[in-house]
Structure 1
Amino acid sequence: MLLRTARHTLLYDTGPQYSRESDAGGRVLLPLLRSLGEERLDLLMLSHRDSDHVGGAGAVLRGLPVTRLASSLEASHGLLALAGTLGVDREPCVAGRRWTWDGVQFELLHPTAEALASADQVKPRPNTLSCVLRIGGRWSGQAHTALLTGDLEREQEARLVAQHGGLLASEVLLVPHHGSKTSSSAAFLDAVAPRVAVVQAGYRNRFGHPAMEVLARYAERGISVVDSPRCGAWHYGPAGAACWRPRGRRYWHHPDADSTHNGVEVANPVGPESTD
């Protein structure tokens, strides 16, 4: 996910590696960044070590100047070594860290410093160390917020709810763990209460993400779900939300059979402005 303020750019995760010669960084992200005129990244944040989240990071680091890399990666991870050779500042994702760019506030909510410090001994699942980032700002006189969650699981969701409660409330939610059954607990959704939830998942992926029972929880709460296989690239800004696939479809493209996933309605919001 790419976030841009007036003068700063943050990239949250880099997608998968497709093969030894191809990954999302080289095939998707670098062309996108160049098309947008972005000549550098102020911050590359890698939520956790799973290959579908960091598979394109090497290409991004080599292909574009990066000022800082924040992650929950273990100290021996090869991407940290690569970043070091390229002169990139490296830092851990630690709950409580805050900064402001151009009037937009950023705050890390997870993982804790204690969880990171004990990771070498405890060997937790990488998902449980996912960097959770909350963003808040104002445009057109209104407050807007987003919550990015990586592959956060139910236990960590419960801890965030216990610690922050209603302060988790966010307009946009990056659906935890691609809509897996391990995440998006009812208590977490009630605390975040998003208006829009974005599912990033591969088309017809072998895991069945997003799960029907998870989508049903969103539907029960009236939360509009944007599914990346149906939406394509998704842009959210002052003029609203927009999906690329419906706007960019050519006559030879196969239309969507319907707007459901496993029988549950999935939204394709198309706003008034073109996508990034």
Structure 2
Amino acid sequence: MKNYKIGLGLLIVLIVAFFAGCSNNNQQFQAASSPVPKQITIQMIDVGQGDAILIRTAEQVILIDTGDVAARAKLIRFLKQQGIGSIDKVIISHPHADHLGGMAELVANFTVKQVYDSGQPTTTALYRRYLATIKQKNIPFTILAAGDQVDFGNGAVFKVLGPRQPFISEEALNNNSIAGKLVYGRFSLLFTGDVEKQAEERLRQSYPAELAATVLKSPHHGSRTSSSPPFLRAVAPEAVIISVGADNEYKHPHKATLKKYADCKARVYRTDQDGTITITSDGQSYQIVKER
């Protein structure tokens, strides 16, 4: 009888240990297989009077515009501080210096895997050097037009809304900027380059139901030549981000434009006052954080 009790006790201990081990193994498996939280990070870099917007998903690094020539050292320093070694995609919205100016320095310091632009040429030496650098470095190059889509990885898609052929005019570099809507789950951001009222109206007529976005990248640095009321009603943004230099000679953003943003009850963030503006989203909610 004593031997039976000892055997029964040992059996109970073994059963408990077995199930405890199974439980621990199951917990370890669940922890290992739990999905890593995914998010998108968008930073409007404070490069003064120009545009440079860094986008990072779990899979890719994308840069939309590169700021002006005078800000190229600041751009490179910022990217290196972020731990970036290569850039999957560079999108040049249009070939004005305040959007294209940092490209040569960018290619000299980072591996650039793909370049996109609108295909509109200009005669400046800066633009010619840009094309020569792409050819010399053998960087794949693609022209974007309305209707195209670019995969940013991790479920983020850039839907190109403009420019549409024929161009508004060969001289209207601003109006022929690449405009596109970044969509990540329920979050969206409308990129506009430097489009002005004529291009805004073309966008509104071409995409009456697709312009609505959570956040708007202020067209043309908040100039009065952009952000027409019909366009803003179509976008209906909750927030507007403006890339602009402090005390710039153009006096951007113009007071009339800021009033339009106030009238549509959008929160306004601007690099001259707030520094680099960082937006993060998990595809459901989003946060906007100011540098200062």
TM-score normalized by the length of structure 1:
0.80
State the SS of the aligned residue for 2:261. helix
Unpaired segments ≥5 residues, structure 1: 19-23, 246-276
Amino acid of the residue matched to residue 74 of structure 1?
Answer: P
Indicate if the aligned counterparts of 2:95 and 2:122 stay in contact, CA closer than 8 A.
no
Q: Does 1:243 align with 2:290?
A: yes
Report the CA distance between 1:81 and its aligned residue.
1.5
Amino acid of the residue matched to residue 150 of structure 2?
Answer: W
Deviations 1:93-150 (A, max 9, x none): 21111133211111111112432xxx8xx53221111011210112xxxx10001111
Aligned to 2:202: 159
State the SS of the aligned residue for 2:62. strand
Q: Does 1:109 align with 2:161?
A: yes
Aligned to 1:229: 272
Rounded Cα–Cα distance in structure 2 between residues aligned with 1:53 and 1:107: 20
Indicate if the aligned counterparts of 2:90 and 2:115 stay in contact, CA closer than 8 A.
yes
Q: Does 1:94 align with 2:145?
A: yes
| Deviating 4+ runs (over 3 angstroms) | none
State the SS of the aligned residue for 1:62. helix
Aligned to 2:117: 71
State the SS of the aligned residue for 1:226. strand
Aligned to 2:60: 8
Amino acid of the residue matched to residue 160 of structure 2?
Answer: L
Q: Does 1:134 align with 2:181?
A: yes
Report the CA distance between 1:48 and its aligned residue.
0.7
Report the CA distance between 1:165 and its aligned residue.
1.2
Aligned to 1:173: 216
Rounded Cα–Cα distance in structure 1 between residues aligned with 2:85 and 2:277: 21
State the SS of the aligned residue for 1:240. strand
Aligned to 1:201: 244
Larger radius of gyration: 2
Indicate if the aligned counterparts of 2:146 and 2:164 stay in contact, CA closer than 8 A.
yes
Rounded Cα–Cα distance in structure 2 between residues aligned with 1:74 and 1:86: 20
Q: Does 1:45 align with 2:91?
A: yes
Aligned to 2:171: 124
Indicate if the aligned counterparts of 1:166 and 1:192 stay in contact, CA closer than 8 A.
no
Rounded Cα–Cα distance in structure 2 between residues aligned with 1:33 and 1:177: 24
Rounded Cα–Cα distance in structure 1 between residues aligned with 2:178 and 2:150: 15
Rounded Cα–Cα distance in structure 1 between residues aligned with 2:164 and 2:208: 17
Deviations 1:10-34 (A, max 9, x none): 101111112xxxxx23x22222222
- CA separation of 1:162 and 1:3: change in aligned 2, threshold 3 A: same
Report the CA distance between 1:78 and its aligned residue.
2.4
Indicate if the aligned counterparts of 1:181 and 1:213 stay in contact, CA closer than 8 A.
yes
Aligned to 2:37: none
Aligned to 1:261: none
Q: Which has the higher contact order (CA 8 A, sep 6+)?
A: 2
Indicate if the aligned counterparts of 1:13 and 1:47 stay in contact, CA closer than 8 A.
yes
Rounded Cα–Cα distance in structure 1 between residues aligned with 2:122 and 2:143: 9
State the SS of the aligned residue for 1:166. coil
Bigger mean CA offset, 126-135 vs 29-38: 29-38
Amino acid of the residue matched to residue 99 of structure 1?
Answer: V
Rounded Cα–Cα distance in structure 2 between residues aligned with 1:10 and 1:54: 15
Q: How large is the Cα RMSD of the aligned pairs?
A: 1.5
TM-score normalized by the length of structure 2:
0.75
Bigger mean CA offset, 212-221 vs 104-113: 104-113
Deviations 1:73-95 (A, max 9, x none): 42873201211111211111211
Report the CA distance between 1:71 and its aligned residue.
1.1
Amino acid of the residue matched to residue 47 of structure 1?
Answer: S
Indicate if the aligned counterparts of 1:80 and 1:90 stay in contact, CA closer than 8 A.
no
- What count of residue pairs does the alignment treat as equivalent? 230
